Structure 1
């Protein structure tokens, strides 16, 4: 792939970058402002953690789960749980809860935890976690400080899912019918959590303000306020950061070089644990032949895109994984080979299947980097005779299209998306298992592949930790052969924070986390 094609993609994207920023929020003593939701996933309009697929960096400042990952995303630790135990057969999870209070002063108890689990398990509530909790057979609260979760079958991803279940107050939400909860005004007007900061106000599409929870169980926070600014695009957030209007924001890899040698800022880098892919809508007849799907893989020069657009900060993925322990020997590396792609398309009869008819490529990635990437992918596929037309929309619009139980195939014959592939390797199950096809779950490509289902089910049910990696190697092997997706890469992610901010923890976790960030310790150093 000639680099002038990449340059064209860059030029196209640069023209789309907006420079306007929103009116700054008035600075206050001991206040930290940030663009916490800038980047993949966007801004959480009604701040409902049950329905959130991103934004946990922000939501976990005032809502809290029973358990979360440590800041390195290596182990699960307690938050509202003092401790937890898993039975030898991995069917019973017992959580011992801390003495905590809701922001309105009422005590947090195991009844709240049981209530929250019931909402999380109920798809009618709008919960995106319901599909992940299918294995839960019962939830009990034998006393105020104990929650017992029982499974019908072992599921290795249960603890990972529990990190995303933010506890909710029964006394505030029990009167709202589950099917009216998802978009209720409560989330953006008077939400109550247990975290170190409590909600004070939301100015639509401008900012959310939190105030210190002076009664927080781990002590009064160092900051008085934390503010989440909304930005229409990353360029506006970066301008606000440089102007001192905010002290933190997510940035794309191609913005990092402008901050690396600037002592006024600190660049935070880490593995995204997200695999980016081109997802084939398997209900569209144009993708039925695996030779067509393989042609897409061979047609894309992933190495050129990674080098020129990601500045080398990504690893090519030939299945959902890039970690060496999860990659089996002998899988196809799908090295760039446009002639082979053309040959496969000819063998499959592409001219009769679709020819040069336009194919809608839907995405929720709206950053300049994503625009560059899709422009390059579009040009590369056009070289072999596949005519894709990218369509970028906001996350709610994307979800309304792809999660619709009766979708219009024409709206998304293909998607450019990302899915969590770690820290728990079983995270990809919801995007690929036939049991997770909407409305049951987020298998938006409608993959129906018996061998892949079997590999995923076997890996999730494996109770021997020493065998789990080999189970996921089998998942990788099936993905690489059958191609439910055209897997592209796993990229690094970056945040930039003012050097004046002290004890600040940000981890480029999938969906923004959650993870152990200790926001009660953050300070502006003033």
Structure 2
């Protein structure tokens, strides 16, 4: 009788116990640690990989399919002449410090980004703005100097997020945004933690905590995945192990595209790289497939200009710089260049370090020696990107539709071409899709014909995650680890 009572009690207790809830925390890994957490004041993609759509939001945003979607503006109207955009802000939005978000914050954020002393890495996004004015607390009108059909897209960049004026002084280390997650802690050299923001205006995320760990070494990345120490590695740095991971039922592999044009960048102002024939020789010396196979284990799409192959306006110009060592030698001879040694600066990413060794060997085959310097990320940003103190470097430009960088003053390529600038100016003003397509193709042709850089491959997005995780982006139309839709299977 007593035994039967125990059995009944145990069954009753079992039936009364709720099913185990899905986890509400996640640990993701990244190759690079961001130098700071201010997306409006730093060029590193690693900043957006932590904060975009998670901590900070803009008037608009990019969705996982690359489309422009409403953000803090729930809608917008365009004037008939295309020179004014009126943004209707969402009601009830607050910053993580409790301050309300309204039109004055939009004015502050956009005026700060376009100010003469602005340190925004994408200042060109805001150059077309004439005025920003509040119609009422929930309505903002942005008047442009000329029509710009791409303006909602520009406002979706991480560099255009909305800021809390009171928090700007500490934004680099203690950011305050309007997103579904707020800043938790940053243990430099190890991890950054975000926590769910209870006062979020939109749909609450399934996750309560997200931790970003920094693992740059491919061997360590593989070990961390296999040991279960991390839940997902959205941009996995060890593609040579993907087949092994894919065969393990504990994991899934996500293979997609990125906006990352991987290039052998050249300092066009530095002799003899100021000679187009020398740049062309370097472009013909490089075998793209060797780099894709040797550095990326077959993951990557060859490119011949600074444009994403998945974009409908992409032009395949790889034939202009096909691998041809003999032609490369002739071009160097025609330019009168002999006994050339160039400095090759390599950031810490695996594609750069592995690819750099291959590039050095292929340049040696045409008579160019290289002095390789392996740099940490902060050093590369300061010396190469900011001060243009380099000859060659390998880097992926992961910002979407960024061919406009070739028209900038004092950009680290040091490239100047009035014809390209004229095309880009027309592009900014064009609203007709067919005209924009034409101009984009012209721009691609110009930089390919000038051999501004040696164009290598479009970076693939090879991610790994535990099988139970859903909602991670397969493609990367923006450098981001958007966690708003990420959850564990129940």
Taking structure 2 as the reference length, what is the TM-score of the superposition? 0.87
Name the counterpart of 1:17: none
Name the counterpart of 1:371: 353
Alpha-carbon separation, structure 1, partners of 2:300 and 2:100: 45
Structural mapping, 1:98-497, within 5 Å? 98-99=90-91, 100-122=93-115, 124-164=117-157, 165-173=160-168, 181=169, 184=170, 186-189=171-174, 191-249=175-233, 250-252=235-237, 253-321=239-307, 322-323=309-310, 325-327=312-314, 332-351=319-338, 355-356=339-340, 358-364=341-347, 366-404=348-386, 407=387, 411-420=389-398, 422=400, 424=401, 427-430=402-405, 432-433=406-407, 436-438=408-410, 443-497=411-465
Q: Is the 8 A contact 1:213 1:221 kept in 2?
A: no
Pairs aligned (count)? 460
Q: Which runs of 5+ in 2 are unaligned?
A: 1-21
Q: Deviations over 1:393-420 (max 9, x none)?
A: 233322222354xx4x7x4012222224
* Secondary structure, aligned partner of 1:489: strand
Q: 1:49 aligns with which of 33, 39, 42?
A: 39
Alpha-carbon separation, structure 2, partners of 1:127 and 1:329: 32
Q: 1:77 aligns with which of 51, 69, 72?
A: 69
Alpha-carbon separation, structure 2, partners of 1:30 and 1:273: 30
Q: CA deviation at 1:327?
A: 4.8
Q: Is the 8 A contact 1:278 1:417 kept in 2?
A: yes
Q: CA deviation at 1:511?
A: 5.7
Higher mean displacement: 367-376 or 328-337: 328-337
* Secondary structure, aligned partner of 2:192: strand
Alpha-carbon separation, structure 2, partners of 1:497 and 1:403: 32
Q: CA deviation at 1:101?
A: 1.5
Q: Is the 8 A contact 1:298 1:340 kept in 2?
A: yes
Q: CA deviation at 1:507?
A: 4.5
Rg comparison, structure with higher value: 2
Alpha-carbon separation, structure 2, partners of 1:283 and 1:334: 21
Alpha-carbon separation, structure 2, partners of 1:87 and 1:390: 53
Q: Deviations over 1:63-117 (max 9, x none)?
A: 11121111111x2001211112333432212211112112232321111121111
Alpha-carbon separation, structure 1, partners of 2:474 and 2:76: 24
Alpha-carbon separation, structure 2, partners of 1:96 and 1:477: 39
Q: Is the 8 A contact 2:427 2:436 kept in 1?
A: yes
Q: Is the 8 A contact 1:210 1:227 kept in 2?
A: yes
Q: CA deviation at 1:337?
A: 1.2
Query: Runs ≥4 in structure 1, deviation > 4 angstroms?
Result: 327-332
Q: CA deviation at 1:29?
A: 6.1
Alpha-carbon separation, structure 2, partners of 1:232 and 1:167: 30
Structural mapping, 1:56-71, within 5 Å? 56-60=48-52, 61-71=54-64
Taking structure 1 as the reference length, what is the TM-score of the superposition? 0.81
Name the counterpart of 2:486: 522
* Secondary structure, aligned partner of 1:251: coil
Q: Which runs of 5+ in 1 are unaligned?
A: 1-27, 174-180
